[in-house]
């Protein structure tokens, strides 16, 4: 585990208003003769305040143990040092994005949200149904990387809707845009009628037209499967409030079993979607993105809306904008492989540490230069830093006067 006081400071500044990313790569440190498995390099990454500048890895972790307990140990150690430096025990990011890995999602939930993933999904369900409390709305927003979820979706559509693959992919892409449970319910109901009705009817065509209208409304297609490599479906969730709710919606769909054959019929598409994706729909749709105050009324929702409004006015990158932008982790990992290690595959861990420490100072300087440029353009200082900067200037003036 490698980090510095300066990298913790950057994390502290950015996590209060922007997204934190967590991902792993396994193509830097080779498996040794005596190791029990391949090495993974995990990185905790934040975006640069200046859009277009390189992201900053605040903490890397090298391990051959890809388990929840291992990743929890890493995140907990980082949080402990974070608390030591700033005197708080429960400083958590506003929003965290990771890939499809259950290990990462469960670790993030346990360390940053202080609860397990299923319980966290219950908190999210309360928020989305207008019953959220102040505690619910103060929890970090955990979200899955859209590119990874679409890889799973490609496997789903190829295996369970091969004759209607393109339609199924567009429908799944449409589901990711749902910003409320009501919207998602409408999309899911129409999708169930289309794909689960063995026979055609006017109602099937009506729901098909509804999906077409919704796809037209969102404008440019959210699906570009040309660069998507399918991945096996591996998620295993126990029953969640989302799963129970959406199963009721699926059960209420009017299916047609008499008449001409339905050309869109795909027997196992909806049932597989329900098993692998619907239990954690809040983690990959737009329901938990944006101003969560829209989901309910009362002080907790008003408080979140006020916070969201305040942060959205800042000129630096923050969690209120571009929160579906992909490529941050890919860019950080590319920098790690191609710039930091120049494409080499290491065989010794001490080589990794030495090389990484040598580049850490350069990364800090690059991040600082980009931030200085951003401030010169007129962007406001992060909260609390204006006073610190004034105090620093005052001390300098006093020193010069003496």
Every domain of the chain and the residues it spans: 5-145+290-323+326-393, 146-283
Region 111-135: mean pLDDT is 95
Residue 388: pLDDT above 60? Answer: no
Q: Tokens 């994005």, residue? A: 97
**Count of CB atoms within 10 A of residue 134's CB?**
12
Of the candidates 190, 186, 191, the one whose C-alpha atom is nearest the C-alpha of residue 169 is 191
Helix (H, G, I), strand (E, B) or coil at 156: helix
More confident residue, 304 or 235: 304
**Count of CB atoms within 10 A of residue 64's CB?**
15
Q: What tokens appear for 363 in the block?
A: 């990364």
Q: How far apart are CA 130 and CA 246, in angstroms?
A: 17
pLDDT of residue 17: 92
pLDDT band (50, 70, 90) for residue 392: very low
Q: How far apart are CA 189 and CA 381, in angstroms?
A: 47
Region 389-397: mean pLDDT is 42
Q: Are strands 95-98 and 19-25 parallel, antiparallel or unpaired?
A: parallel
User: What's the number of CA atoms in the CB half-sphere (13 Å) around residue 186?
Assistant: 15
Q: Give the strand order in the sheet containing 56-63.
A: 56-63, 40-46, 19-25, 95-98, 141-144
Q: How far apart are CA 278 and CA 276, in angstroms?
A: 6
Q: How far apart are CA 61 and CA 76, in angstroms?
A: 12
More confident residue, 366 or 304: 304
**CA dihedral for 57, 61, 67, 70, sign (positive or negative):** negative
Q: What tokens appear for 111 in the block?
A: 């360390």
Q: Is the pTM of this model over 0.75?
A: yes
Beta bridge partners of residue 61, listed in sequence order = 42
Residue 176: pLDDT above 60? Answer: yes
Region 178-196: mean pLDDT is 96
Helices 181-196 and 241-252: crossing angle in degrees, nearest 10, is: 50
Query: Which stretches within 288-339 are classed as H helix?
Result: 299-312, 328-334
Among 101-115, 127-141, 372-386, which is the least confidently predicted range?
Answer: 372-386
Region 78-102: mean pLDDT is 85
Of the candidates 86, 84, 42, 44, the one whose C-alpha atom is nearest the C-alpha of residue 66 is 42
Region 222-232: mean pLDDT is 53
- 19-52 pLDDT, tens per residue? 999 988 766 666 666 655 677 888 899 988 888 7
pLDDT of residue 157: 93
Region 95-116: mean pLDDT is 90
Q: How far apart are CA 153 and CA 284, in angstroms?
A: 11
- 315-352 pLDDT, tens per residue? 888 999 877 765 776 777 667 666 666 656 666 677 77
pLDDT of residue 389: 45
Residues counted in the chain: 402
- The whole-angstrom distance between residue 149's C-alpha and the CA centroid of its chain comes to 10
| Residue-by-residue DSSP string for 211-231 | HHHHHHHT-S-S--GGGPPP-
Q: Are 1 and 61 in contact (CB under 8 A)?
A: yes
Region 47-72: mean pLDDT is 86
- pLDDT > 90: percent of the chain: 51
């Amino acid at each position: 585990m490698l980090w510095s006081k300066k990298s913790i400071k950057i994390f502290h500044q950015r996590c209060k208003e922007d997204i934190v990313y967590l991902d792993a790569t396994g193509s830097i440190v080779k498996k040794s003769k005596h190791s029990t498995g391949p090495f993974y390099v995990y990185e905790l990454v934040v975006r640069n305040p200046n859009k277009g500048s390189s992201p900053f890895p605040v903490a890397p972790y090298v391990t051959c143990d890809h388990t929840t307990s291992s990743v929890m140990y890493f995140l907990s150690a980082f949080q402990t040092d974070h608390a030591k430096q700033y005197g708080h025990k429960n400083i958590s990011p506003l929003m965290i994005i990771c890939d499809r890995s259950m290990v990462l999602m469960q670790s993030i939930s346990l360390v940053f949200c202080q609860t397990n993933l299923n319980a966290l999904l219950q908190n999210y369900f309360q928020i989305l149904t207008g019953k959220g409390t102040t505690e619910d709305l103060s929890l970090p927003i955990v979200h899955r990387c859209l590119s990874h979820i679409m890889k799973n979706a490609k496997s789903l559509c190829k295996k369970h809707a091969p004759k209607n693959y393109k339609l199924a992919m567009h429908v799944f892409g449409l589901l990711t845009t749902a910003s409320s449970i009501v919207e998602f319910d409408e999309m899911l109901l129409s999708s169930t009628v289309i794909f689960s009705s063995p026979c055609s009817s006017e109602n099937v065509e009506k729901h098909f037209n509804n999906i077409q209208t919704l796809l037209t409304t969102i404008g440019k297609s959210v699906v570009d499967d040309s660069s998507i490599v399918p991945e096996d479906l591996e998620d295993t969730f126990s029953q969640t409030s989302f799963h129970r709710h959406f199963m009721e919606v699926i059960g209420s769909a009017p299916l047609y079993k008499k008449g001409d054959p339905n050309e869109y019929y795909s027997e196992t598409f909806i049932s597989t979607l329900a098993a692998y994706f619907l239990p954690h729909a809040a983690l990959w749709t737009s329901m938990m993105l944006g101003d969560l105050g829209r989901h309910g009324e009362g002080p907790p929702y008003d408080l979140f809306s006020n916070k969201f409004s305040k942060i959205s006015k800042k000129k630096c990158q923050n969690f209120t904008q571009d929160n579906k932008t992909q490529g941050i982790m890919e860019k950080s990992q590319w920098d790690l492989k191609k710039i930091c290690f120049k494409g080499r595959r290491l065989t010794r861990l001490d080589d990794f540490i030495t090389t990484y420490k040598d580049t850490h100072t350069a990364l800090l300087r690059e991040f600082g230069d980009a931030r200085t440029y951003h401030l010169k353009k007129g962007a406001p200082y992060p909260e609390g830093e204006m006073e610190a900067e004034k105090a620093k200037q005052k001390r300098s003036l006093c020193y010069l006067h003496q």
